[in-house]
Amino acid sequence: MRSTLCRMTLGLWIVTIGVAGWFFVQGWTTQGTDGRMQISLAPTERDLILGEMRMLLKAVHGVVTGLAGQDLEAARTQMEQAARSAGMHMAEDVNPVLMAKLPLPFKQMGMSIHRDMDALADGIVQKETPQQILQRLSSMTARCTTCHDMYRFSAER
């Protein structure tokens, strides 16, 4: 009797870990009508993610504006602050329920962008050339467009 109970408990534990792992990788997704994967989120979660994307775009704009100015050295502080504002600190305190709904590739791309924003800020401080900064931005925006080509959000009701 005790052996059977242990096996059942172990079996349930394994199934639970498997289901949790599947959701960690797949998230709450369905195939969208436009060929992209649709991520189902509560309206507030969707608003949070889209707001974060807008902040990332504003950070890129801040760096590009600094690069376009007449005095690159004077703009470095503004550019660094813009890049740093979208760094890893932005990803702190994210609701674990929200993270569970996002598919693993989406999470990986998002976290890589935050890490690269911090690295970009460091590069600006280290006086990288405009060409080096633009190459970093190009790499990041390539991931942004890839992500937007792959995913879309739907708000749960």
What gap in Å lies between CA 60 and CA 32, rounded to an integer? 29
pTM of the model: 0.81
- Structural domains in the chain, sorted by start: 28-155 (1.20.120)
Which of 52, 59, 111 is closest to 80 using CA atoms?
Answer: 59
pLDDT digits 0-9 by tens, 80-118: 999 999 999 988 878 888 888 999 999 999 999 999 999
The pLDDT, as a whole number, for residue 1 is: 77
**pLDDT value at residue 4:** 77
Residues in the chain: 157
3-state secondary structure labels for all residues of the chain? CHHHHHHHHHHHHHHHHHHHHHHHHHCCEEECCCCCEEEEECHHHHHHHHHHHHHHHHHHHHHHHHHHCCCHHHHHHHHHHHHHHCCHHHHCCCCHHHHHHCCHHHHHHHHHHHHHHHHHHHHHHCCCCHHHHHHHHHHHHHHHHHHHHHEEEEECC
Phi and psi of 115, rounded to 5°? -60, -40
Q: Which residues contact 116 (CB under 8 A, 6 or more apart)?
A: 136, 139, 140
What's the confidence (pLDDT) of residue 14?
A: 61
Per-residue confidence in pLDDT tens, the chain, 157 aa:
777 766 766 666 665 555 555 455 556 688 989 999 999 999 999 999 999 999 999 999 999 999 999 898 999 999 999 999 999 998 887 888 888 899 999 999 999 999 999 999 999 999 999 999 999 999 999 999 999 999 999 877 5
